[in-house]
Amino acid sequence: MSELESIIIETNPQPDAAVIWLHGLGADGNDFVPIIEQMQLPANMGIRFVFPNAPIRPITINQGYPMPGWYDVSSLSIVEQEDEAGIRESSAILKQLCQAEEKKGISPERIVVAGFSQGGAIALHCGCRYPQTLAGIMALSTYMPLPDTLDDEFSDAARYTPVFMAHGRQDDVVAFEYGHKSMELLEARGMQVEWHEYDMAHSVCMEEIIHIRQWLMNIL
């Protein structure tokens, strides 16, 4: 698996926590960099933010046009005809990124996997299967992919990983109901999910950024 390019931003010279944040389809690692400044985290919080760029792949729903994507999408109903191979490949990449942070001395309970849309789906897939309890899973405007495989693959350690989920009620890309059903799926498995919903489409709003800040301060 080739190394992905990542944008890395450290909030101070000795970070003791890491947030690995995956962008949505067709975007890149720069997409969520501005949020770091908008969150105005306390100066004493040392976090390494890692924003990887997804591999370029042909996307069926866009007439096969190649673009950055964590997996292929072949239907407007994203939960049908899922690209299992692509999802598993990107989930394995995220696991490797977490393990790279562990090698740099960051313990798993100080690592957050995060993502928006497609990126959030990969964060949920990987975080629920990670062999250690992570600091948290942040899943924005997204859903749990491959839900039928979750019970067989769910990690006992993941039960103790806190989850932040946020979704726009007017989301026209990932339907609100997909996000809400995914939250119920996690709660049914004993996970602690902090759920937020907003009057917005498939995007991020300032109120959400404030909630993300509060959640990160609580878990880190």
In this structure, what CATH number is given to the domain that contains residue 200? 3.40.50.1820
Say which DSSP state 79 is in. T
Domain that holds residue 191: 6-219
Say whether 124 sits in a helix, a strand or coil. helix
Dist. CA 195–CA 207, nearest whole Å: 13
Residue 1 lies in a domain: no
Q: How many domains does the structure of the chain reveal?
A: 1
What's the confidence (pLDDT) of residue 81?
85
Residue 196 lies in a domain: yes
Residue 123 lies in a domain: yes
Give the dihedral sign, CA 31/116/16/95.
negative
Residue 27 lies in a domain: yes
Closest CA to 23 of 6, 48, 40: 6
Residue 187 lies in a domain: yes
What's the confidence (pLDDT) of residue 78?
73
For residue 71, give the amino acid letter: Y
| Residues catalogued as catalytic | 117, 171, 202
The pTM of this model reads: 0.96
What's the confidence (pLDDT) of residue 72?
96
Residue 62 lies in a domain: yes
Strands 56-59 and 47-52: unpaired
Say which DSSP state 5 is in. P
Closest CA to 150 of 118, 195, 182, 180: 182
Q: Residue 218: exposed, middle, or buried by beta-carbon count in 10 A (0-12, 13-18, 19+)?
A: exposed
What's the confidence (pLDDT) of residue 3?
64
Dist. CA 57–CA 72, nearest whole Å: 7
8 Å CB contact between 106 and 142? no
In the Cβ-directed half-sphere of 202, how many Cα atoms lie within 13 Å?
Answer: 16
Residue 26 lies in a domain: yes
Say which DSSP state 105 is in. T
Residue 90 lies in a domain: yes
Intervals of the chain under pLDDT 50: 1-2
Dist. CA 111–CA 101, nearest whole Å: 8
